[in-house]
Amino acid sequence: MILHDISYEWDGKSKAGEKPISWWPGSYRVRIVKLGDNTKAIAYLFPIAVIFKSQKTTEPMNTSLRNYIDNFATKISMAYGLDIEKTLWIELAEQIQVAQLHPDRKLSDKTLYTISWRQARPNELSMIAPYIKDL
């Protein structure tokens, strides 16, 4: 089930002391999807997927989220009430890549994440296939 389908842009500038996703502008199509249903027969380790694809509108907006996924995931999670650790972060590019974020340690009030990228697995591809046809 598609929960949210948005275009997400940032200008690379700091507003009110808040760090931007990256210091360069970017634009992505973002689709937040609930992978499982509410039955008790199946428990999903990652019940939510955030699928995103670059929608570069100008050359300066060619920022990849691969190096900024922790900033992006933090902003999207706060805006849409997602649990970063229980969400698959899926980038549609030449290859479909999946990121998982795990808290590494606390440093004052900021959580640092260990991020692992990998190719999407066949079962994940079959689960997201209906949601990526028109992206």
Tokens of 69: 């996924």
**Residues 6 or more apart in contact with residue 77 via CB below 8 angstroms:** 83, 84, 87
The CB density around residue 10, as the number of other CB atoms within 10 Å, is 21
Mapped onto helix, strand or coil, the DSSP state of residue 48 is: strand
Please give the pLDDT value at position 59. 63
The answer to whether the beta carbons of residues 115 and 69 sit under 8 Å apart is yes
Q: Which domain covers residue 127, as residue numbers? A: 2-132
Most confident region among 20-24, 62-66, 126-130 by mean pLDDT: 126-130
pLDDT digits (tens, 9 = 90+) for 59-118: 665 667 888 899 899 999 999 999 999 999 999 988 999 999 988 766 667 778 888 899
The answer on pLDDT for 132 being more than 70 is yes
* Residue 78 main-chain phi, psi, to 5 deg: -65, -40
Question: Which helix (DSSP H) or strand (DSSP E) does residue 64 occupy?
Answer: none
Structurally, how many domains does the chain consist of? 1
The answer on pLDDT for 46 being more than 90 is no
CA distances from 79 to 4, 31, 73, 85 (A): 11, 13, 10, 15
Q: Which of the four pLDDT bands, split at 50, 70 and 90, describes residue 25? A: confident
